[in-house]
Structure 1
Amino acid sequence: MGQKTSKLNKEDLTKLRAETGFTTRELQQWYKGFRRDVPTGQLTKEDFLKIHKQFYPFGDPTDFSNLTFHAFDVNDVGYIDFKSFILSLNTASHGTTEQKLRWSFKVYDRDGDGQVSYADLLKVIKSIYKMIGFSTAKFDEDEITPEMRADKVWLALGKDLTRKESDLITLTEFTNVKNLDKETLDAMNVYNDLI
């Protein structure tokens, strides 16, 4: 994908169609919008934040955007190219529940060690609450604070609240959906129903 191309080439289209399930037309529309908003073809962390600010004008998406940037930057190069963007978007929005959770795990597992601490979980949940904006969002009574929601997710994953400082969540535990209710799944899945 060259710097000045306005369309995806046939080979890229074929590969992305096979990898994502998006139609040729959808991919071309996404690519056109991506190139319009990111003429260099390299979506930076700052640009990523600007996009989040457009979607969450009543909150502050700074922390959430910073936390999620690396999940989109699948090549770990410091920017998001179109392929990384569309593959992440596809997984986060159209993937199976397990695929979405595997992708979301990357957001929670900041150091990439395959484990999420309570502090990691709480950091992401706090960033979501801050992004949504407390003045516009309505939270269930048992989730009024980020800590309450983190506790709820922690318990749903079979963890003991007295062991928050020492226990860890593994990828297998995070993606084991059989005992999780919809609310808990939504809380863990950072880009649920993205598109």
Structure 2
Amino acid sequence: MGNASSMLTQYDIEEVQEHCSYLFSQQEIVSLYERFCQLDRSAKGFISEDEFLSIPEFSLNPLSKRLLRMVDGLNFKDFVSFLSTFSAKASVQQKIELIFKVYDIDGKGKVTFKDLVEVLRDQTGSFMTEEQREQVVTKVLEEAGYTRDCTLSLEDFTRIIDHPGLKMEVEVPID
């Protein structure tokens, strides 16, 4: 493992730090690089879908299929950039933008009622009926002043989801 960090130069570390808006320390970037190298089993320079699914926390996440759209084939710099959204130092807006991408199933910059129901389906599985999911989403939209016929832009989505209790963080273990 120690040999993986030696492949990362000081210049590389600083470049990655800049790319992720300095949300990770140099030590955290070295730790992330070591983890990246572990995941990139075939040493291709990027992490494949199967390699991401080898992470138990990722594969057990009910939204892993949606997240795979965003992470499959990431090189190290983009891997760190993606993870930076989960940093305690990342802004609430950065976190909301990532959540919006999870909901924006077709990537067109809009979230529909159907998108919201599909994400809720992924999260609840068989614990809720389709009718219950639709009722929940309808209620949330109505409370925010929207109807089920609306398409939500990032700005609309932010108005609905932005609240002081939003917490989406991960700690990077430093060896």
How does the TM-score come out when normalised to structure 1?
A: 0.67
Equivalent-residue separation in structure 1 for 2:135 and 2:52 (angstroms): 29
CA contact (8 A) 2:97 2:154 kept: yes
Matched, 1:47 2:51: yes
After TM superposition, the runs of 4+ consecutive aligned structure 1 residues lying more than 6 A away are none
The answer as to 2:144 corresponding to 1:193 is no
Work out which of the residue numbers 125, 136, 142 in structure 2 matches 1:155.
Answer: 142
Q: Which residue of 2 aligns with 1:66?
A: 65
Note closer, same or farther for the CA distance 1:152–1:20 as it changes in structure 2 (3 Å cut): farther
Residue 81 (structure 2) aligns with: 87
**Which amino acid in structure 2 is aligned with residue 10 of structure 1?**
Q
Q: 1:80: Cα distance to partner? A: 1.8
Shift, 1:14, TM fit: 0.5
Tell me the distance in 2 between the aligned counterparts of 1:110 and 1:11.
37
List gaps (5 residues or longer) in structure 1.
73-77, 135-144, 187-191
What is the CA–CA distance in structure 1 between the aligned matches of 2:124 and 2:65, rounded to whole Å? Answer: 14
Q: Distance in 2 between matches of 1:86 and 1:156?
A: 36
Whether contact under 8 Å (2:92, 2:162) holds in the other structure is no
**Quick one: which amino acid aligns to residue 105 of structure 1?**
F
Unmatched segments (≥5 aa) in structure 2: none
1:169 Cα deviation after fit: 0.7
In the TM superposition, residue 150 of structure 1 has moved relative to its aligned partner by 3.0
Report deviation, 1:11: 2.1
Cα 1:123/1:194, change in 2 over 3 Å: farther
Q: Over aligned residues, Cα RMSD in angstroms? A: 3.0
In 2, distance between residues paired with 1:182 and 1:122?
A: 24
Instruction: Give the drift of 1:20.
Output: 3.3
Evaluate the alpha carbon distance shift between residue 159 and residue 37 of structure 1 in structure 2; reply closer, same or farther with a 3 A threshold. Answer: same
User: Equivalents in 2 of 1:96, 1:64: separation in Å?
Assistant: 22
Measure, in 2, the Cα distance between the counterparts of 1:171 and 1:96.
Answer: 15
Alignment length (residue pairs): 159
Q: Does 1:27 align with 2:29?
A: yes
Question: Within 2, Cα distance between the matches of 1:128 and 1:115?
Answer: 20
Tell me how far 1:181 sits from its aligned partner: 4.5
Residue 17 of structure 1: how far off its partner (Å): 2.0
Contact 1:45–1:69 (CA<8 Å) still a contact in 2?
yes
Instruction: Decide whether aligned partners of structure 1 residues 38 and 129 sit closer, same or farther in structure 2, where only a CA change above 3 A counts.
Output: farther
Equivalences for residues 1-195 of structure 1 within 5 A: 6-7=4-5, 8-18=8-18, 19-39=21-41, 40=43, 41-51=45-55, 54-55=56-57, 61=61, 64-72=63-71, 78-94=72-88, 95-130=90-125, 146-147=133-134, 149-160=136-147, 164=148, 166-176=149-159, 180-181=162-163, 185=166, 192-195=168-171
Aligned counterparts of 1:148 and 1:15: Cα–Cα separation in 2: 47
- Percent identity, aligned pairs only, is 25
